[in-house]
Amino acid sequence: MSATKIPSLGYALLGLLQKPSSGYDLRKVFSSTSMKTYSDSPGAIYPALRRLEKAGLIRGTIEEGSGLRRRQIFRLSPKGHGELKKWIMLPITREDLASGLKTIMLRFAFSEIAIGAAASLAILKSLEAALQPHLQALREQLQAMKAVAPTSARLALECGIRSYESLFDWTHYSITIYEKQMNGGVS
């Protein structure tokens, strides 16, 4: 019954909790990086942490350090670590692509620490495979639109296409880096 669906904020928290942190620490990470998109408001984070704890994915322990303020440090449980790994290793589908890169990039960013470089490489290859038909479809949409739509709508679509093309390039660049690193036999 690990089938309790976890929203993306939950996974973001699980990923960050690979390094034990308090709710406050997590909020700071969110608000100081480009992870702001996952909400840095206490009204989202604290309830989410409690849900994860109830689901047995994390454990919170109150820090007893002498003169410190009350601070609850959360850690991943083995189950939580398993859930995180499962999520990271999901194959990348075209729906994933259509609903934005945020989630994909989050999974990739966490992959190396959570599992290892081989998993990161696998994500890149899965992404590369999903990208080709997606780009194809977008280009066809552009052709179909060309006669009908106003310039701005057409350009907006072109922007999307360019951004996926740049993603495609990045994928190759990153694959190269990982393959070098692994042939070099580092770690």
Give the DSSP H/E element, type plus range, for residue 74. Answer: strand 72-76
CA 20/CA 87 separation, integer angstroms: 20
Footprint on residues 60-99 left by DNA (CB under 7 A):
67-72
Contact status: 93 vs a second copy (CB under 8 A): no
Mark the segment that binds DNA (CB under 7 A) among 40-48, 133-141, 167-175, 179-187.
40-48
| Candidate list 19, 36, 86, 125; residue touching a second copy; CB under 8 A | 36
* CB 36 within 8 Å of CB 9: no
Contact status: 43 vs a second copy (CB under 8 A): no
Instruction: List C-alpha distances in Å: 3 to 7, 55, 83, 184.
Output: 12, 10, 10, 40
CA 46/CA 9 separation, integer angstroms: 11
Among a second copy, DNA, none, the one that 24 touches (CB under a kind-dependent 5 to 8 A) is: DNA
Among DNA, a second copy, none, the one that 185 touches (CB under a kind-dependent 5 to 8 A) is: none
Q: Which amino acid, one-letter code, is at 135?
A: L
Residues engaged in binding a second copy (CB under 8 A): 33-34, 36-37, 98-102, 105-106, 108-113, 117, 120, 138, 141, 150-153, 155-160, 162-163, 165-167, 169-170, 174, 177-178, 181
